[in-house]
Amino acid sequence: HLFYVQIPGKVCKNDTLAPKHHIADENADRLLSGLKRSGVAYVDLREEIHRQGLSHHDLFFKTDHHWKPEAGLWAAKTIAERLNNFFDFDIETSLYDLERYDCQVYSDFLGSIGRSMTLAAAKLEPFTFLFPKFDTDLTIRILSRAIEKRGDFRVTYHQENLEYALQEKDPYKKDYYSVYFYGLTPMISVHNHLLKHETNKILIIRDSFGYVLAPFLALGVQDVDTMDIRVGLSGFTGSIRSFIEKSLPNVVIVAYYPGMIRQEHNGAFIFQ
C-alpha cells in the first residue's frame, strides 16, 4: 500500500500575510488532487491543523523553517490514526499524547533563519526534547554510521550531537534539531521489541521534517524503515524498488513538505 502524507510548510496557505499564490502549496494541492483521482490514500496535515483547531504558526519555530518536535508528535498521532483506519493497523494512539512525555526544554535555540538574520534581529527560542514516561525498548540500525543500539527511546537521539550542543556556548554553532533521529542520514531502521505480537512494517520516504516524526511513529509500529533520498544531501545510493521488494513493508509512506515538490512541464511531479 502507498500512503502519502502532506507535511505543512512554515507558510500557511490560508494566512493573509502570505503571498496570495504560494507556488509550493499550489504544487502540493495539485499533487493531492492527482492522488485523489488515482485512488491513492493520503492525509493533508495542512488541513488537519485547522480541522483540529490548532495554530499553524505555533507548530513551527520562529527562527527556523522546521516544525517543532511537539508538532512531529502530533503528526505521528494523526498518521497513526489513518494507518488504523485505512490499513487496519492496531496502533495505540494514546502513545502520542503529549502528557505522556517528559519535556526537557532548552532556551537557547537559534534556527537557520535566525542565524542568517543574526541575533541583531532574531531572538533565541525554546527547543524541546521529549522522553516517553512509558516503557520503551527499541533497536536502531544505521548502516552508514555502523550503528546498532538497543535501549529506550533515547537511542533515537544522536547523543554526541546533543552533548556538543549542550557544551557549545555559541548559538550559531549548535544544532538541536539534528539531534533528533541522527539528522541527515540516508537510511535508518527501528525495531520495537515491545510489539512482539504485531507484524506491521512501514517504510517512510522523508525529508528533514521526518527527524521529529519517524522516531515517535516507531513507538506504535513494530518495524519502521526510513529513507532520505534527497539528491546531493543525504548520500542515498540504493534502490527504493529493490529495498521494498526485499523488506516487504505493509505500507510505504511518502512524507514531504511543500517546498520539496516540483511539477515538471509534462505534468509529472518530482521531489527535489
Average pLDDT per 10 consecutive residues for the chain, totaling 272 residues: 96 70 84 95 97 95 97 98 96 97 97 95 97 98 96 97 94 95 95 89 96 98 94 80 94 94 54 58
* CB-based contacts of 140, cutoff 8 Å, min separation 6: 147, 148, 149, 150, 155, 156, 188, 189, 190
Phi, psi of 46, deg, nearest 5 = -60, -40
In the prediction, which pLDDT does 11 show?
87
In the prediction, which pLDDT does 271 show?
59
User: What are the tens digits of pLDDT across the range 220-254?
Assistant: 999 999 999 986 777 788 889 999 999 999 999 99
Cα distances (Å, whole numbers) of residue 201 to 69, 153, 195, 220: 23, 18, 11, 10
In the prediction, which pLDDT does 212 show?
98
User: What are the tens digits of pLDDT across the range 145-173?
Assistant: 999 999 999 999 999 999 999 999 999 99
In the prediction, which pLDDT does 233 show?
76
CA dihedral for 230, 3, 34, 241, sign (positive or negative) = positive
